[in-house]
Copies of this chain bind each other. A is one copy, B any other.
Amino acid sequence: MKREAIKKALLDSYETDGGINHLDGVNLPAQESVNAVARDCMHLLFPGYFEDTRLEKGKVADLVDALLLRIEERLEMEIEKCLKFAGDARPATTARTLTFEVLEQLPDLRKLIRTDVEAAYQGDPAARSNEEIILAYPCVLAISLQRFAHVLYRLGVPLLPRMVTEFAHERTGIDIHPGAKIGTHFFIDHGTGVVIGETATIGSHVKLYQGVTLGAKSFETDNNGNPVKGVKRHPDIGDNVTIYAHATILGGDTYIGANSVVGGNVWLLDSVPANSIAYFKADDLVIRPRQKKESLVGYVEDWVI
């Protein structure tokens, strides 16, 4: 029977083509559980915004109780899996200790995230209220969860931080690595396509538009041809910098000085001093009448230079 033959071929392929199956291995973190932690965190950070009904002040303590307990249980379980997966030698109680070290940061994270919401209000004339920003601006989810994942990253938890930021990436198109260090008052407008690499640093009062990349150019490899991990390879961005849509800024030696503005669509491998503006020369742009290709009947002259 065909199904039996396909089944046998698949089981054989699990034996011969390893590396992308995970059988009898240690337990891996479950995406659904990670997603639930991420969602519960957003409730804790912005109480009253994501509940189905109005949140009365008298009931906040109970809500916080319930959310904290749920996050704590799931987070401890997932951290434990991640430590075992990575062969972490720390004792069994470590997952619990790390879980509380993460949760203890939540009040400070709120202070930080509050500055991000303020920056969105200051930075976008279309924003009519803080409520509109929290309910409808994707950067709130992406930045808040990166700040949360960054705490996990700094504590040396493997796997999990990246799964948290990928939850946000899937929903917002904003891909910020958990390793990136980000100052206060960070605003990303629209956001789709933004990429911020692991070793990037970002000052305070920075504004990015959609499609901005703070990425790597070349990187070193070891004797086996594998990339050397953990080397500084993404840019540093100073305070009060604005970067317009689809600017691609690459390299670990590249910095954008404070108070500078980078124009859209630039491809930037060099540093920009403070108080500067960087953009492509306008006279490189050709604007001329369209030419008809008269000889081609039925030809859509969509792009014929």
Contact = CB atoms under 8 A, between A and B. Distances in A.
Given A47-B22, A64-B11, A17 B298 contact: no
B215 A209 contact: yes
Contacts of A197: 126
B263 A267 contact: yes
B248 A267 contact: no
Contact of A125 (B223, B227, B263): B227
Contacts of A21: 46-49
A98 interface: no
Nearest to A106: B10
A213 to B, nearest CB: 5
A9 interface: yes
A117 interface: yes
Given A20-B113, A190-B195, A192-B193, A125 B233 contact: yes
Contacts of A264: 213, 248, 250, 267
A136 interface: yes
A225 interface: yes
A60 B128 CA distance: 40
A211 B211 contact: yes
A74 to B, nearest CB: 13
Contact of A9 (B23, B107, B132): B107
Given A21-B48, A61-B11, A138 B68 contact: no
A198 interface: yes
Given A24-B56, A260-B290, A248 B248 contact: no
A4 to B, nearest CB: 9
A184 interface: no
A294 interface: no
A61 B7 contact: yes
B7 A27 contact: no
Contacts of A65: 7
A89 interface: no
A13 B111 CA distance: 8
B175 A192 contact: yes
Given A56-B24, A286-B281, A122 B225 contact: yes
A114 interface: yes
Contacts of A114: 17, 19-20
B135 A159 contact: yes
The 7 closest A-B pairs by CB, nearest first: A22-B48, A217-B303, A218-B302, A125-B227, A248-B264, A13-B107, A265-B267
